[in-house]
Chain A
Amino acid sequence: MNPARRNQLLAIAGFALIIVVALIVISQSGGDDDGGGGSGAGGLSLAGIEQRGNALGDPDAPLTMVEFADLQCPFCAEFATGGALAGIVDEYVRAGDLRIEFEPLTFIGPDSVRAARVAVAAGEQGRLWDFVDLFYENQGPENSGYADDEFITRLLERIEGLDVDRVLADREEGSVTRALEQAARRAEDAGIDSTPSFLLGPTGGELEPLAVDSLDFGAFEGPIEDALAAANG
């Protein structure tokens, strides 16, 4: 190969590398533009914590916890608003040790479906956890029809930086339907038959069912510490 051709090939390889790096930077910043930490309009302090889709926390956190929950489920509300989730978020998520994925199930009834669709659509703007927190704080009687557009809109309007009209439009999208179907399948695959249920394990690795005997922060602290110690070798 003559030197001129070799230089041309090195130049295109170098330029290709620059373009790939630029594409990766755009890809990584795309989620932050839509998310990047909610305002924490509810009781949960979410400010400064990254949100992407259904995930809360640093994508590179060593541990991942999956929460399967129905937005109408009172025990899920107890977990979300009773201090356990706040403790987990403050102690582990904010520290970058744990990320949490929220998988919305809709087995209780139509209000669950309406709420879950909005949660997923809010997730497309990086605000799922803000909505979920607000919803649990304002949870009404099961299947009373309370989760109507007026109720939903009122909650959404409390979330800073959220495009409410876009959420209301996006909730009807096929991508939202697929996300809910996927959550249901994931629950089925994991043998989940009640809510809230949890999986815990190393990020990107095998997640195991997390059985807790109460919905207090203390019940989660031990298993998370053990998993963290295992993940950190």
Chain B
Amino acid sequence: MSDRTLALAAGALTVLGIGIAGYLTWVHYAELSPVCVGGGGGCERVQNSEYAELAGVPVAVIGLLGYLAIAASFAIRGSNGRLAGAFLGLVGAGFSAYLTYLELFVIDAICQWCVANFAVITALAVVLFVRAAR
């Protein structure tokens, strides 16, 4: 796979991630319930849980800032930018994995948006890590 393909994939996944995290940030501050396919209160339950904030900051905001930081790393030329992107991707994927664990085994509810975010950040971390390894 060419570097250009990897860069395009990373860009597309970052835009997707910013969309998801941006939407969840918006519904948080607008005090709305996220639209969930097939209904169900999973998203609300997750959003209202005590784990929806980290040190008082909504995790959606943290996710949005993370994606924006990854986007900013694309502007850094050379290996430093790639290493920074890979680092941010790994942190995002790791923390998202923890939040998914909480949904499954602690909160006992699944938010489709969070699962989608987990898939996006995991794929993004892989792409960014492969780019950095080249």
Contact = CB atoms under 8 A, between A and B. Distances in A.
A222 interface: no
Interface stretch (B5-13, B16-24, B48-56, B111-119): B48-56
A212 interface: no
A214 interface: no
Interface residues of A, number: 34
Interface of A is mostly: helix
A99 B129 CA distance: 41
A144 interface: no
B50 A31 contact: yes
Given A27-B54, A59-B106, A174-B31, A179 B48 contact: yes
Contacts of A173: 31
Residue among A26, A27, A203 with most chain B CB within 10 A: A27
Interface stretch (A6-14, A68-76, A79-87): A6-14
A9 B51 contact: no
A166 interface: no
A92 B42 CA distance: 28
A20 B55 contact: no
B83 interface: yes
9 contacts: A9-B129, A16-B90, A16-B94, A20-B90, A24-B98, A173-B31, A178-B33, A182-B41, A204-B106
